[in-house]
Structure 1
Amino acid sequence: MSRKPPSRDQRQAGRESRDLLEQVKTIAQGLGDTFAPFCEVVVHDLTDPKNAILAIHNNLSGRQVGQPATELGLARIADPDYPQVVANYANTFADGRQAKSTSIGIKGPDGTYVAALCLNVDLTLFQAMQSLVGRFTRIETQDGTRESLNPAGPEAIRARIDEFAAQRATTPRALKTDDRRILLRELKDAGCLHVRHASDVIAAHLGVSRATVYASAK
């Protein structure tokens, strides 16, 4: 029994599907070049699930062109209402490396899936980089060690006084004698008293004399 030749509509749909696949292959090449070598980019031809892999860039998974569709691809073939974009889901390469994957389904004119564009990011390097950055930025507290690399100016000194007073729910001029003494010692330890005209700035902001500043800072 001879097979019925495809109708004109079927031939047209076939041409449109091939055109779509060519466009997707071009996009995949651009993505692969952009995100090399950390991201594998794969084009699946869902019209031929047994030989679905049409192109693969930055091959991280060890798969080859012509291999069959994945479970996600088969799910799209079976259900046109399957989500078109499944983004950032956990995945694993054959050798156990962790991956982050995104799968984008491509529909033809009739609303059925004809292709999928998949991105698989190898997280191994990024996890190592995260660990290195964490070690590099870790700060170890040394008892009694205090230093500021920001040169204190009049505004910085006033801001420091305001912050000290605010922590005690008061204003700089309303600070108690003991608190003012603590503040002035902190300013001295921070090197603020070595700033030009610092004593005048502090005295004016606290509403005390320069002599009080010098005496309390001893």
Structure 2
Amino acid sequence: MTSKNKALETYIPIANLIAQTFGKNCEVVLHDLSIPQNSVVYTVNNHVTGRQVGQPFEHLIKDVLLSKNFENDCTANYRTTTIAGKKIKSSTALLRDVKGEVIGALCVNYDLSPLNDMKILLDEFMDTQQEKIEANVEPFDNVIEIVEDLINKMIGNSSVTTLKRKDKIELIQFMDKKGVFLIKGAIEKVAEKLNISKVTVYSYLDAIKKSENE
């Protein structure tokens, strides 16, 4: 501590506490604004930005005092970048003496680089694609064969000739929910296997939609 202002010494435990709480990526800098050209009087974890005792303040006016977020003597969570290209999340609070005069500033600088790498990893991991499938999709390669096999299994061992209308509607409703009829030619396949006309399948689908909307 190089400041002659003894009042600023009371903030050293606070600076240490903040740095110890948030770890090695958290730098805390204490400024004595009575000596602007050499305002830095105390640092913790100064490897984050490289701030050295005896240096002047950098962002106090532009990013703190002139910020639209400056309120109650502080500006929190503004972004700065070091010469080395590190992205830093910074917060600064003014320090006043018993007379209410500004005597210094306490700055917290957090290195976002490790978190940014984690964010990229999480973004890649959480990336998903939601494809909107329209009706009458032309199937690729053997898709229609796979779906036809699924249709056969949905019908199962039921005797088509003995299936009641209600049972056929329930079966078609299940197929519809599973996306069977999105595939081009599926309605014709189902009509053939249930021994009903294509028009009947359409009428069942209309009845199902009407029932679901009621």
* 1:108-127 pair list within 5 angstroms: 108-127=97-116
Which residue of 1 is the match for residue 58 of structure 2? 70
* 1:80-159 pair list within 5 angstroms: 83=71, 84-139=73-128
Cα deviations across residues 59-98 of structure 1 (Å, max 9, x unaligned)?
A: 1111211112335169999xxxx74111111111121221
* 1:1-218 pair list within 5 angstroms: 18-19=6-7, 21-59=8-46, 60-72=48-60, 83=71, 84-139=73-128, 180-185=170-175
Q: CA deviation at 1:102?
A: 0.5
Inter-CA distance 63–180: structure 2 relative to 1 (3 Å threshold): same
Inter-CA distance 130–49: structure 2 relative to 1 (3 Å threshold): same
With the length of structure 2 as denominator, give the TM-score of the two structures: 0.54
Query: Could you tell me whether the CA contact under 8 Å between 1:49 and 1:74 is conserved in 2?
Result: no
Q: CA RMSD, aligned part only?
A: 3.6
Inter-CA distance 90–74: structure 2 relative to 1 (3 Å threshold): closer
Q: CA deviation at 1:128?
A: 0.8
CA distance in 1, matches of 2:63, 2:87: 23
Query: Could you tell me whether the CA contact under 8 Å between 1:54 and 1:66 is conserved in 2?
Result: yes
Inter-CA distance 74–65: structure 2 relative to 1 (3 Å threshold): farther
Inter-CA distance 182–47: structure 2 relative to 1 (3 Å threshold): farther
The percent identity for this pair of structures is 33
Q: CA deviation at 1:18?
A: 1.5
Q: Which amino acid counterpart does residue 91 of structure 1 have in structure 2?
A: T
Q: Which amino acid counterpart does residue 39 of structure 2 have in structure 1?
A: A
CA distance in 2, matches of 1:39, 1:74: 22
Cα deviations across residues 24-69 of structure 1 (Å, max 9, x unaligned)?
A: 1110001111112221111111122222111111111112111123
CA distance in 2, matches of 1:38, 1:186: 55
* Alignment size in residue pairs: 139
Unaligned runs of 5+ in 1: 1-14, 145-175, 189-218
Which residue of 2 is the match for residue 208 of structure 1? none
Inter-CA distance 70–38: structure 2 relative to 1 (3 Å threshold): same
SS state at 1:89 partner: strand
Unaligned runs of 5+ in 2: 134-142, 144-165, 179-214
Inter-CA distance 185–57: structure 2 relative to 1 (3 Å threshold): same
